[in-house]
Chain A
């Protein structure tokens, strides 16, 4: 069974701290996507990771992909309140075309 596991599922942290969200998957893939969802809103694409070792950065967020370990990380540096949201990873398996979604990580950043 194809699985994508995110952890933690819920994270409450203080502004200014660093933290990492993990996305593990069970199938072979070298394509992984990170999305952000604000409460009551749709999903917004954050990062597209298309090869082993890919690293993308946008502001205080940095995503990386290790296809050998079947692991992607989303690192938050010096968190600010505006980053509070739910973050989803989605894997595109080599075997088919559909994205397999993680359950999401709800991130709350307290001032």
Chain B
């Protein structure tokens, strides 16, 4: 079955820790995205990548980092510089590098202890 997987489903972080959220897709999509969603709010773009070894900052990139070493994988690291990381994190992909319909993974819920 083709799709997008995210792990873990739930993640707890202590103050000052870096944590990495996994996103993998087997759809052969070129572009991948990371969004943050706060309770009762819409989506905000953190980072996106249109091709391997290249990525761009979105609207709220501060305190986050990404890599795109393989087409299938786009991990997101939430660094200690992100002061309020508690949120629902969604990974998405699209077939085209130039936009198009985005398909979403199941999400990771991150809570800071």
On A, residues with C-beta under 8 Å from B are 31, 33, 35, 41-45, 48, 88, 90, 92, 96-99, 101-104, 106
- Provide the residues of chain A in CB contact with B106, threshold 8 Å: 41-42
Q: How large is the interface on B (under 10, 10 to 19, 20 to 34, 35 or more residues)?
A: 20 to 34
Cβ-defined contact, A101 with B42, below 8 A:
yes
A97 and B104 contact, Cβ closer than 8 Å, known pairs A42-B90, A43-B90, A104-B42: no
- B99 is contacted by which of A43, A44, A99 (Cβ under 8 Å)? A99
- A45 is contacted by which of B90, B98, B101 (Cβ under 8 Å)? B101
- Provide the residues of chain B in CB contact with A41, threshold 8 Å: 106-107
Q: Quick check: which of B12-20, B43-51, B66-74 contacts chain A, the rest being far away?
A: B43-51
Cβ-defined contact, A98 with B42, below 8 A:
no
Query: Chain A's nearest CB lies how many Å from the CB of B11?
Result: 15
On B, residues with C-beta under 8 Å from A are 31, 40-43, 45, 48, 50, 58, 90, 92, 96-107
CA distance A70 to B42 in the complex (A): 20
Closest residue to A44 on the B side, CB-wise? B104
Cβ-defined contact, A33 with B90, below 8 A:
no
Closest residue to A43 on the B side, CB-wise? B104
Closest residue to B4 on the A side, CB-wise? A42
Query: Chain A's nearest CB lies how many Å from the CB of B59?
Result: 9
